[in-house]
Amino acid sequence: MLNTNNRTPKTEYRIPQMPLIEIREVGTVKDVRRGIARIKGLPSCVYGQIVQFSQGTKGIVMGFNQREVLVIILGEEGDICVGDSVTSLAELLQVPVGEQFLGRIVNGLGEPIDGRGNIAASDMFSVFREAPGVMEREPVTEPLLTGIKIIDLLIPLGKGQRELIIGDRQTGKSSIGLDAIINQKDKDVLCIYCWIGGPQTALKKIIHILTQRDALKYTIIVSSTADTSAAEQYIVPYTASALGEYFMYKGKHVLVIFDDLTKHAWIYRQMSLLLERSPGREAYPGDIFYLHSQLLERAGKLKAERGGGSMTFLPIAETLQGDITGYIQTNLISITDGQLYINTSLFHEGFKPAIDLGLSVSRIGSRVQYPAIKELGEGLRLEYAQYREMLRMTKLRTRLSAEALEKIKRGEALHQLLTQINNNPVSVVEQIILFYAFKRKVLEALSPPLLKKFIEGVYGYLVAEDSGLAGLLQEKKELTADIKSRLDRIMVNFFKTTLPIADCISVSLKFVPMLS
């Protein structure tokens, strides 16, 4: 047997702790011009890598050759001089994200600019994060209500969709985005407004509207105004997407407005020319399509295993004299799931929002609509198109048939129903009531003042007289036989109590039994 008691005790050897050695590449600034720095050295850098100048300013590697590295400067270039040292960091650009950003205004780097102190971040997300894969997504089936009647009924949007808002300047494109944000109050949707290269005064108006309508508390404003660096204006939509992705992967629903991507394309063209890249069509670089497709593909609806959240994009693009065949405009139309085209002529006629139904489309379609909205919206697009055609005929002919006059009268009622002032979203229940009355062919018999009175007062009357019906519509969002009967009764009582007898005479004879 082995004698285990006589074993030699083990000798413990301790390896002395060596100090940690950090290896970094250091280069030298050769030239600084218009937000672009040319660096000598940094042989191991990669595209998109972060570098830091000796003053603490950071930059992004945007190109390189055998002689030099091209860097866009994230911040002011005034303190950077030729000969300064530049250190490469082993990281890509990241921004802070988290719940604490709600209600705040930040710049393109996620830093607060509203004067309310620092923001405690929950995490760091890559700015140029990859979009979710196909197997992580599921079809868009939930509606995203904007509170704009013409959109919710005729061009429905879904959670996870990308819908382009396109039109000439000063035609109400930003107002549509703001109305969509305001309508998300008390709903399970968080909002991000991304301001790209616009004036500071216009941004202040947007902030004032959101504050006034109590919408800023569930909104993040990511701003890079025209006086900021080109690099910051370039990354600001990606920063907004990263902030939205944090909430999306937490299982929440997010709405992001990009205002606007035309200016973003201009900034990227300017940067590319300074980086001496080969210009293509309209002097844009060859990867301009990839630039926006990479950004907009980050929207979508995730599967339940990935949290079930969604991120909806409403990018804005500007046209010149209504031309939607421009390079950037056609790129964005082909990338997105539909477009809302703002017609300048309609805008000057007073039809607001001035959405041209002939050129506007939602490729998601009616599958995201509630049953009642879907039923009431059927045929309205064609009916309105026929009305516009009849109006053109009245300019050529002095006499029209009775059928044509009836269509014009009905079209005028529809025109007045679809007209809506800014920052005044309409609830889904109110939309159901108004367009149910239109389907019942009650409204065309009213004069414009009486129709306006009906539009403004019938919803409040319903809530006061039959609040249970309003709650039922809010819950079911479908038109059962019982609901239709109760709506008919409400309309009859509303006309009896609000319209004078003399005005009732102006109603068509076929509706007299309903009012009796």
pLDDT at 207: 96
**Beta pairing partners, 302:** 137
Residue 397 clears pLDDT 80, i.e. is over it:
no
Give me the chain's average pLDDT, please. 89
Find tokens 């866009």 and name the residue: 72
Report d(CA 94, CA 92) in Å as an integer. 6
Number of DSSP helices (H) and strands (E) in the chain, helices first: 17, 17
Question: What does the domain layout of the chain look like in residue ranges?
Answer: 26-92, 96-369, 376-515
Mean pLDDT, residues 229-245 taken together: 96
Q: How confident is the model at residue 425 (pLDDT cuts 50, 70, 90)?
A: very high
Tokens of 329: 């405009």
Q: How confident is the model at residue 508 (pLDDT cuts 50, 70, 90)?
A: very low
**Beta pairing partners, 419:** none
Tokens of 194: 């991304």
Rg (CA), the chain: 29
> Among 3.50.50.60, 3.10.20.30, 1.20.1250.20, 1.20.150.20, what is the CATH number of 376-515?
1.20.150.20
pLDDT at 13: 58
pLDDT at 21: 67
Rounded to two decimals, the pTM is 0.90
Percentage of the chain surpassing pLDDT 70?
92
Mean pLDDT, residues 266-281 taken together: 93
Per-residue pLDDT tens digits for 118-175: 999 999 999 999 999 999 999 999 999 999 999 999 999 999 999 999 999 999 999 9
Q: How far is CA 244 from CA 98, 276, 290, 364, in A?
A: 10, 33, 20, 21
Report d(CA 251, CA 301) in Å as an integer. 10
Tokens of 432: 């159901």
Tell me which of 24, 116, 363, 489 is the catalytic residue: 363
Nearest to 127 by CA among 150, 106, 103, 97: 97
Residue 55: CB partners within 8 Å, gap ≥ 6?
79, 80, 84
pLDDT at 505: 46
Residue 25: CB partners within 8 Å, gap ≥ 6?
41, 42, 43, 44, 45, 87, 88
> Active-site residue 363, yes or no?
yes
Domain topology for 96-369? Rossmann fold (3.40.50)
Report d(CA 51, CA 71) in Å as an integer. 8
Percentage of the chain surpassing pLDDT 90?
68
DSSP label of 99: G
Report d(CA 280, CA 278) in Å as an integer. 7
Q: How confident is the model at residue 7 (pLDDT cuts 50, 70, 90)?
A: low
pLDDT at 131: 94
Mean pLDDT, residues 77-103 taken together: 91
Report d(CA 283, CA 301) in Å as an integer. 35
Domain topology for 26-92? Elongation Factor Tu (Ef-tu); domain 3 (2.40.30)
Residue 467 clears pLDDT 90, i.e. is over it:
no
Residue 91 clears pLDDT 80, i.e. is over it:
yes
